[in-house]
Structure 1
Amino acid sequence: MNDNDFLAGRFEEHRGHLKAVAYRMLGSLSEADDAVQEAWLRLSRAGAGDVENLAGWLTTVVGRVCLDMLRTRTSRREEPLETRLPDPVVSPPDGLDPEQAALVADSVGLALLVVLESLTPAERLAFVLHDMFAVPFEEIAPLVGRSPAAARQLASRARRRVRGSAPVPDPDMARQREVVEAFVAAAHRGDLTALVAVLDPDVVLRVDAGALAEAAGPRAKVGVAAGGGYAELRGAQQVAGQAVTFRRHSPSSAHPALVNGQAGLVNTIDGRPSAVMSFTIENGRIVEIDILADPDRLAALDLTVISR
């Protein structure tokens, strides 16, 4: 075995961890893969001869790469870009494989990733590296070009935002599934009263349908605003009404799934995936529903095991 093969083997030991870091930073599975690949290129050029803690070194390298990617996103925005949902991690209802489990450990649901999208790049880096991966502020500070005390303040601001905005999902998976099944049954019956009963009064529905919203007509719109592919609805009555309207116009079938480790659904039309639905359930009621119906992004996900 030559030195490069040995180095590649050591890198592979950390790949799952590094992708988990990048996914939390970027909310995109493909960009997370790109960030991890860039970390390998930097390691292969630099070597690991003087690196005492390879896992820590690679974590900060991935953090720096992701920070640069986030800043590039921001710098390209001459005007605000259309909002989009983070990529979901979808798996069969009977469990996650080891790579998926690493990606969504510590209840990294779509609801949390949506809140992380609202942070500045520096705040997101400080929060993700310190609060999720225990990287010391002394190591985070050089990445953001600030003192350790200032890096601590970045994480503190992000933590307040997360605690104030991201719901904490119920840990009981059986209870989660019961609530989702009750929601689906009520929507199929067109029972607004039963739907409102399983929805939190302040429930939020987010729909990301991409270009589909403008091209595919009422079956695909799922409440998407006519002027774009992303929309939000708030309030139990509004969300319940939208669910009934969608079920009336869409001949889709719903297949149970885990979406970021929480109870969810993959909807299909004529056997083809049409949407991934993530439910965040708190205190026995649905507080957030996130629907990805963008056909291009759905095509990039492996949904065959769920929808067949």
Structure 2
Amino acid sequence: MTTATTPSASDEFERHRPRLFGLAYRMLGSADEAEDTVQDAWLRFTAADRTGIEHPGAWLAKVVTNLCLTRLTSARARRESYVGTWLPEPVATADGTLGPLESAEQRDAVSTALLLLLERLTPTERAVYVLREAFAYGYREIAGVLDLGEANCRQLYRRAARRVGEPGSRFEPAPGRRERLVASFLTAAREGDLTGLERLLAEDVTWWSDGGGKVSAARRPVEGRDKVLRLMAGVLRRYATGWELTLAEINGAPALVARSGAVLVGVLSFELRDGAIGELHAVMNPDKLGFAGRQLARP
């Protein structure tokens, strides 16, 4: 007679860890804070009476969501005093860190653009939206996670969806178009070809920089093709000779990464509009590059 063995707390938790990290990252926009949140959930899991936890995955998702809600409340205050533009921490996604990204919808759910849009929402609206859109929770499940009424959760989702906008409007319809544009951008940047870069940019392109006051970066968005090209010319003159520029999949899309030796010093992601590059998001704050740097350093 075979007796089923109960998995250890560690084995059980590790089975859910990737999903919990993906949930926390989508809620917080910070990989480091997501890791800390998952660690806090682990401590609560080990301290709990596991005999009373019928569905560990659901129990842990509720713990992580509520830990994120607490963190988001304090994060709002910190971001109000943040130096310059705040952008989400980049995460390399080719290794499955944020789960399978096999469709345009799944890639959009972890894009820098969507994470920025989620900043418009209240913490509770964000939780409802993420659980519904990214993890396909039903309204009854969401109500159980947040200890709210089911009707209230439906209303919160509708409000969040209106404020974020229709996902379909953010998808790039032409397969491979984004990859070709980013590859062309990399080639032109390596060669210092400003004319080539100009052809890739929309006339109303906007450049957003996040240096966090730790490195030199534009503290306000730079708008318009001519101004963005002048900024890029300065960046290339000052830094490009000492940087190695390569491509990587960041937040579900091809992005340009810059290294100085073995150190990741910048991640530049792109948003397309009408077949051209409409927005560039440059994360250079070293405090935000540690997680992606560790990912990209792995063989």
Task: Assess same fold via TM > 0.5.
Answer: yes
Pick closer, same or farther for the CA change 1:304–1:124 going to 2, 3 Å.
Answer: closer
Give, in whole Å, the separation in 2 of the partners of 1:166 and 1:69: 30
Indicate how the Cα distance of structure 1 residues 173 and 10 shifts in structure 2: closer, same or farther if over 3 A, else same: farther
Q: Which residue of 1 aligns with 2:270?
A: 279
Give the Cα–Cα distance (whole angstroms) in 2 for the partners of residues 189 and 242 of structure 1. 16
User: Is structure 2 residue 152 aligned with structure 1 residue 150?
Assistant: yes
Contact 1:17/1:102, CA 8 A, preserved across alignment: no
Equivalences for 1:240-255 in 2 at 5 Å?
A: 240-250=229-239, 251=241, 252-255=243-246
The Cα offsets for residues 90-118 of structure 1, whole Å up to 9 and x where unpaired, read as: 36xxxx22335459981111111111122
| Cα separation, 2, equivalents of 1:307 and 1:194 | 33
Paired with 2:58 and 2:281, the residues of 1 have a C-alpha distance of 34
Contact preservation (8 Å) 2:268, 2:283: yes
How big is each residue's C-alpha offset from its partner over 1:262-298, in whole Å with a ceiling of 9 and x where there is no partner? 1111113456432111122355322221111112333
Q: How far apart are 1:18 and its partner, in Å?
A: 0.7
Worse-matched range after superposition: 120-129 or 270-279: 270-279
**Residue identity opposite 1:42 in structure 2:** R
Residue type of the partner of 2:46?
S
- Which ranges of structure 2 fall in alignment gaps of 5 or more residues? none
Flag structure 1 segments of 5+ consecutive residues without an equivalent: 214-220, 226-230
Work out the CA distance in 1 between the residues paired with 2:182 and 2:210. Answer: 20
Give the Cα–Cα distance (whole angstroms) in 2 for the partners of residues 271 and 34 of structure 1: 25
Q: 1:291 to 1:38 in 2, by over 3 A?
A: same
User: Structure 2 CA distance, aligned partners of 1:199 and 1:149?
Assistant: 45
- Quote the offset at 1:121 in angstroms: 0.7
Residue in 2 aligned with 1:217? Answer: none
Aligned CA distance change for structure 1 residues 300 and 19 (closer, same or farther; 3 Å)? closer
Overall identity of the aligned pairs, in %: 34
Q: What CA distance in whole angstroms lies between the structure 2 residues aligned with 1:151 and 1:304?
A: 36
Q: Aligned pair in 2 of structure 1 residues 200, 164: CA closer, same or farther (>3 Å)?
A: farther
Give me the TM-score of the superposition, normalised by structure 2.
0.81
Provide the rounded CA distance (Å) in 2 between the counterparts of 1:79 and 1:253.
33
RMSD (Å), alpha carbons: 3.4
Q: Which residue of 2 aligns with 1:182?
A: 184
What is the match of residue 45 of structure 1?
A: 47
**Structure 1 CA distance, aligned partners of 2:101 and 2:19?**
8
Give the structure-1-normalised TM-score.
0.79
User: Aligned match of 2:27 in 25, 28, 32?
Assistant: 25
Residue identity matched to 2:207: L
CA distance in 1, matches of 2:28, 2:92: 17
